[in-house]
Amino acid sequence: MSWHTEVLLCLVLLSAVPFEAKNVLLLLADDGGFEMGAYRNRIVQTPFLDALAKESLIFNNAYASVSSCSPSRAAILTGMPEHQNGQYGLHNGVHNFNSLPKVRSISSILGKAGIRTGLIGKKHVGPDEAYRFDYERTEEQYPINQVGRNITQIKLFVREFLQQSTSHSNESFFLMVSFHDPHRCGHITPQYGSFCERWGSGEEGMGTIPDWHPIYYVWDEIDLPYYMPDTQPARYDLAAQYTTISRLDQGVGLVLKELRDAGLEDDTLVVYTSDNGPPLPAARTNLYDPGMAEPMFMRSPNKAARRNEVTYSMTSHLDLVPTILEWFNLTHPQPNVLTGRSLLPLLFKEPGNQPDDAVFASQSFHEITMTYPMRAIRTKRYKLIHNLNYQLPFPIDQDFYVSPTFQDILNRTIAKQPLPWYKTLRTYYQRPEWELFDLKMDPTESRNLFGKSSMKETFEELSVRLQKWLELTDDPFRCSPDGVLQDTGEYLNNPTCLSLGH
């Protein structure tokens, strides 16, 4: 019996509760991590996210299925991993990645069912026919900062969408508000600061976002996460990120107020999460936990639903499409393509202990030059990562490369100066084919246990499960790096891995 079937049967036994509510509001951060009080960050101030968490079921084991922007958004919207939906890397500019033509996103499925769909903020996926919304206010029509960081403008767009939706009293809606914070500004607009923390701040020449009240942080009072080097440039970098977290947080508060003022709060399932981890070392573009572990809350209007409680159930972004479909009492037109499960039963009951429950991750690109396919399985205790291009150095994306944090790591390494970091740049670049971690004993994923005789059975079990998932999701990389997928001629109806002889 497959992992998916096991979990599905388990959750079906938790009687599915009928829902009368009509709408879904999905709030998505861009490169956001656990920078909030609800996840025990004692420095950053996030009163609106914390308030939402208290009204929600809080997920402590939620994971992205890919640690890259466009691929993650495509996975969230299709319920399929990047290698299955075809959005291998960034959609914009020279990267030009798009999902496969036959892919159906949740917006297209809901639209055909008569449910009104909206997207405000960052879109960053394609093609248009696969990801079409009835109401779109994205970077395809406006400057990205105006639709993704200008929380006053976001508020007004949300108001317009809700007014249009309520003009049709029987019409349900799915609205995705996709913030651009706390994404880096990077090399494009460096005058606004590393994280665009100066844009709209009221400083001279920066303009003003009327509803944003910036919060500034003292760099030497920040609690650094373990994967950050303890240097002044890194601390300055994180302090700038925290300021944009305040903009995200206040934006969430404005959106929820619009929902409440429209009289729709009691009819709407609210979900908050982020597309992937923050643009920091070992995080975004990595399948280590800082890259794929995500914050997630789910607030149900059902009075019997769990609130201010934590679920430890292993959860994937691939579960969001099945959840939304069940909320609207719909089925997927191609149910066999989904490997996720509805999360609605968790709103009412925590399942029994499931130590072998697992989530899966798949990364192939970020930018088009960043060819570094990785596949992973994570249980509550173990993680196995398969680095298919392990002969190559791990690639660094442009935004992170120009960041104060990475430039300091690079300069200290070149100058052979001390680097107070839990890795070295060499070990960060050069990775083995297999990485196996015991997360109970080694939560920082610092000790690779692959090859240890005591871990042989664990490795074999996890690698078999991972391979089955790759086959189930039709991964074209599933024979790499030691074989070639042969699916022509006599193998047309039975794709086979043929050995490269090494």
Integer Cα distance of 314 and 353 in angstroms = 11
Integer Cα distance of 483 and 496 in angstroms = 9
CB 434 within 8 A of CB 384: yes
Query: Which residues, 6+ apart, have CB-to-CB distance to 66 below 8 Å?
Result: 72, 75, 81, 82, 276, 292, 361, 362, 363
Dihedral pair phi/psi, residue 359, rounded to 5°: -120, 160
Which DSSP string do the residues of 449-496 spell out, in sequence order? -TT-GGGHHHHHHHHHHHHHHHHHTT-TTTTTTTEEEE-SGGGTTS-E
Dihedral pair phi/psi, residue 111, rounded to 5°: -60, -40
Secondary structure of residue 129 in the 3-state scheme: coil
Secondary structure of residue 365 in the 3-state scheme: coil
Instruction: Give the length of the chain.
Output: 502
Amino acid letter for position 467: Q
Q: Which of 69, 185, 196, 479 is catalytic?
A: 69
Buried (b) or exposed (e) across 391-412, using 16+ Cβ within 10 A?
Answer: eeebbbbebbebbbbbebbeeb
Active site residue 196: no
Report residue 341 as tokens. 């499960």
Integer Cα distance of 113 and 129 in angstroms = 16
Amino acid letter for position 306: R
Active site residues: 69
